[in-house]
Amino acid sequence: MPRCPALFVAAPASGQGKTTVTAALARLHARQGRTVRLFKCGPDFLDPQIHQFASGQPCHTLDLGMCGAADAAWRLAAAATTADLILIEGVMGLFDGQPSGADIARQFGVPVMAVINARAMAQTFGALAHGLATFQPDLPFSGVLANHVGGTGHIELLRASLPPGLRFYGAIPRDAEAALPERHLGLLQAGEITDLGQRLDRIADHLAATGAAELPPPVEFPATPAPVVPPLLADRTLAVARDAAYGFLYPANLDTLRALGAKLEFFSPLAGDALPACDAVWLPGGYPELYAAELATRRELWTALSTHVAADRPVLAECGGMMSLFTQLRDQSGHVHTLGNLLPGEVVMQPRLSALGTQTVTLPEGDFRGHTFHYSKASTSLTPIAHATPFSTRRHGQAGEAIYRQRRLTASYLHLYFPSNPVATARLFLP
């Protein structure tokens, strides 16, 4: 079995700083010449961008619901054969969700370091750490790292509050200049943070003085081969939009398309790129609402896409990709923009989250797993060909996302996870 030092970076809740700590820790070890492979728990497009920047390696998603245990097993095993260190960032709080980050750490035996924001905390730090360490007795809990601390006195107070035997990894001081900027969906995309390297280096320098800088103990990962993917898209060219407006792409999805034999041609609608010569098009999610004014001027691109659809050539438009194809998009300021005009109806940005969670869907091409996360609502005269089903029974009757189809154009808020069914993925992009 492949063995590799590994650490699971968790927290009691969102907003504790685990993304920054994970990325900076990768940065610290990468600066020392180590190959660091990072993984992110839960459906997420933003944190993995930060992690890829920090490590220079693709960051894949681990999610026992959306991706499945088998997918996680082979990816971790593959990483362990080439990496000097594996870091896994949790999602939300350590025990949040069904399945949770703790479920992943426990299943693969990866020790957990919890990051706790101690900015407004004294002895309660010890109580919180004790709870995290003992809530699930079979969890391989390693210790805690204090974030956003004050001076030496504060650090010693936090250390003294811990029960005997619970490791204190150390502390990171408050450093406003190192904080990563955010928006409603989470962190900014890596490409939008011009000084990302300097910010991560500042935190990495702080981490260098803590126990977190030490390599964790090796973890044995069961030898698991990668699944065999038939080359169903051989000799086919797939145009993929990729820029700040269309940046929500799982690296695993791109890998699946390449394994299927597809030739990927990336283009930037924001930069004014023409639609490449292609057999099929993928418009992934992103932030078209932030760049609607610029996208509205790309009439040649929208005309080319309309011609592509009229010729019965496949298009997959997910979330932001779908939003940009409606007749109108109304942004947060109330301004109305005409973008693709390939789908009848209107998309209106909302002040609050409209949908969230892992979902499954059965399409004519096959079954998929995926997730949804958006701040807009769409109204259309189109009749859905299917509705997704929320993975969690705790969604209090929340309806699954609608999937629309016009000719060979498939559109939905749902972000599909292509490795969940590579054969069905190929069928989406075949004539």
Give catalytic residues, as residue numbers: 319
Sign of CA dihedral 29, 33, 34, 39: positive
How far is it, in rounded angstroms, from Cα 232 to Cα 102?
37
Place of tokens 């069905």: 424
Contact 401, 355 (CB under 8 A): yes
Backbone angles phi, psi at 348, to 5 degrees: -125, 125
Whether omega before 99 lies within 30 degrees of 0, making that bond cis, reads yes
Place of tokens 């399409």: 363
Counting beta carbons within 10 angstroms of the beta carbon of residue 248, is it exposed (0 to 12), middle (13 to 18) or buried (19 or more)? buried
Buried-state track 42-61, b at ≥16 Cβ within 10 A, e below 16: bbbbbbbbbbbbbbebbbbb
Contact 415, 318 (CB under 8 A): yes
Largest CA distance in the chain: 70
For residue 11, the SS3 value is coil
3-state secondary structure of 276: coil
Residue 368, beta-bridge partner list = 361
Give dist(CA 319, CA 415) in Å, integer.
Answer: 7
At CA 423, angle to CA 421 and CA 427, rounded to 5? 115
